[in-house]
Amino acid sequence: MRNKLWFVLAFVFLIALTTMVIASADDLDHVNIKDMKVYVKGELFWHGFCYQHDTNVSDLNWTCVYSQTAVLPSIEACEKVDVKVAITGGDITSDNAVIRSWFRVNGETIEDETGMFDIYQNNQYVRTMFLKMPCNVKELKIYTLNVEVEADDDLKGVYEAEIKFDLQRLANELSIKSVNVRTPCVSTCSTVYADVVVKNIGNHELNDIYVKATIKELGVSGQRYIDLLVPYKEDDESISQEVTIAIQLPSNVQPGTYTLEVAASSEEADTAIQNVQFVLSGAQQEQTSIEVTPQVLTMDVTPGSNAVYTMIVTNRGTTSQTFTVETTGLDWATVQLNPATFILSPGESKLVSLYVTAKDNVVAGEHVFSAKVKYGNELKTVNFTANVVEGKKTLDTKTVLMIVGIVLAVAIIILLIVLLAQKGKNEEKAEESYY
């Protein structure tokens, strides 16, 4: 039993020797920071401190030691890592202190820093920084996390740390390396193309990868499949693949700036998403696909009568359209539309008639009115002219009856006169025959 205990103690001691790096700094006459701890992902990994000894020997009465206190922390690609630093002021004050943390990977520096603060004697300060690990780890090795306190004056004591850590790839991870949107539009545009490069940045093969490109504002999308992407290997081109996705646009799409969302996913890996903006400048505009042709623009109209204006509406677009016809400027007349609403399929035409009846009290002269043909968010306007002229005057019913009455009365009077004259002649003939 005792031998086993000694074996365990020896093993622990060996681990301590291999995981701790202790260094003694030169003896110092004073220190700005006498204690410093660095926590990574909530665990203490580095500790340095300074202690005072006999001041009678010399003026150099501070000695500082430091160590990495635990085994290498394992950090995964794409992970957001918190780095917390706790420091305690020494025997002098420091102004405008800043804590920086950084490391280099893939040829670039990943870093973060705190805001400025002053360090007073024996006071403790805790600051937290965040480092976003790269998703694509090209080289698997031991990396060094650097933590340093900076201030206006030259610091003494424990103010910088180096922590060794292992940065590893995720087991199954996809990355969208690039997205190129092509819009081969001249006068019209019905299709855009997205060239997408998808890469396997994990440790295992990925099968049946689904790549989808969506134009959010239009609600249209296209998709492609990738059979296999192998894990990362040096100079291995099969870890990534480019696919071209064709996206059909609506016929009435307008020019403007749009957002393309590209998503790549498989059964094993989480979805990788990337958004890019692109400009659509040659999209088809529906107003150029509709024709409204009037057959007659000007007609003579008499008060109380009507005139018929006609126009032909033609749909030369690629989709069906619903049309509505309205008129304005007809306060001097009434109008009837036939038809007022209709639907035209691509290539179809419709004859629209406007029956305009002038009011009896309309003023003679030219009167302009408009017909508006609406479809979708567009409209076309046609201006017509009515030349109101005075017609032949006609007698109303009362006048006709009065004239007829007068004629009858005159006829009756004449008849009575004739009858009375005839009676007088008959009486004279009777008297002559008597004698």
Residue 24 has pLDDT above 50, yes or no: no
Q: Is residue 308 domain-shared with residue 328, that is, in the same domain?
A: yes
Asked whether residue 422 is domain-assigned, the answer is no
Predicted TM-score of the model (pTM): 0.46
Task: Give pLDDT, residue 323.
Answer: 94
Burial of 48 (0-12, 13-18, 19+ CB in 10 A): buried
Spatial separation of the C-alpha atoms in residues 262 and 383, rounded to whole Å: 49
Domain-terminating residue out of 152, 168, 184? 168
Q: Are 384 and 371 in contact (CB under 8 A)?
A: yes
Residues 6+ apart with CB under 8 A from 390: 302, 303, 364
Do 382 and 292 form a contact (C-beta atoms < 8 A)?
yes
Say if residue 9 is in the same domain as residue 90: yes
Give the span between the Cα atoms of 194 and 21, in whole angstroms.
53
The answer to whether residue 399 is domain-embedded is no
Residues 142 and 26 in one domain: yes
The Cα–Cα gap between 82 and 141 comes to 21
Query: For position 322, which CATH number holds?
Result: 2.60.40.10
Q: For residue 433, tell me if it sits in a domain.
A: no
Among the candidates 168, 188, 220, a domain finishes at: 168
As a whole number of angstroms, the distance between CA 252 and CA 318 comes to 9
- What gap in Å lies between CA 277 and CA 264, rounded to an integer? 18
Q: What is the pLDDT of residues 118-169, one digit of tens each?
A: 999 999 999 999 999 887 776 677 889 999 999 998 899 999 999 888 887 7
Q: What is the mean pLDDT of residues 203-232?
A: 87
Whether residues 49 and 152 fall in one domain = yes
> Are residues 163 and 187 located together in one domain of the fold?
no
Amino acid at 106: N
pLDDT the model gives residue 396: 55
Q: Tens digits of per-residue pLDDT, 377-432?
A: 888 999 999 998 876 554 455 666 777 778 788 888 888 887 777 766 665 555 55
| Residue-averaged pLDDT of the chain | 81
Tally of structural domains, the chain = 3
Q: What pLDDT does residue 123 have?
A: 95
Residue 133 inside a domain? The answer is yes
With cut-offs at 50, 70 and 90, classify the pLDDT of residue 72: low
Q: Do 263 and 313 share a structural domain?
A: no
Q: Clarify whether residues 135 and 224 are in a common domain.
A: no
Q: What is the pLDDT of residues 335-379, one digit of tens each?
A: 999 999 999 988 899 999 999 999 988 888 899 999 999 998 888
Whole-angstrom distance, CA of residue 176 vs CA of residue 198: 5
- Statement to judge: residues 238 and 332 lie in one domain: no
- Residue 90's domain spans which residues? 2-168
Q: What's the pLDDT at 54?
A: 66
How open is the CA angle 15-19-20, to the nearest 5 degrees? 115
Q: Is residue 80 assigned to a domain? A: yes
Co-location of 43 and 155 in the same domain: yes
Residues 203 and 237 in one domain: yes
Peptide bond preceding 339: is omega within 30 degrees of 0, i.e. cis? Answer: yes
pLDDT in tens, 83-124: 999 999 998 899 999 999 999 887 889 999 999 999 999 999
Grade residue 53 by pLDDT with cuts at 50, 70 and 90: confident
Q: What percent of the chain has pLDDT over 70?
A: 81
pLDDT in the model for residue 211: 93
Question: Of 168, 185, 211, which one is at a domain's C-terminal end?
Answer: 168
**Residue 26: CATH number of its domain:** 2.60.40.770
Per-residue pLDDT band at 58 (split at 50, 70, 90): low
Residues 85, 60 share a domain: yes
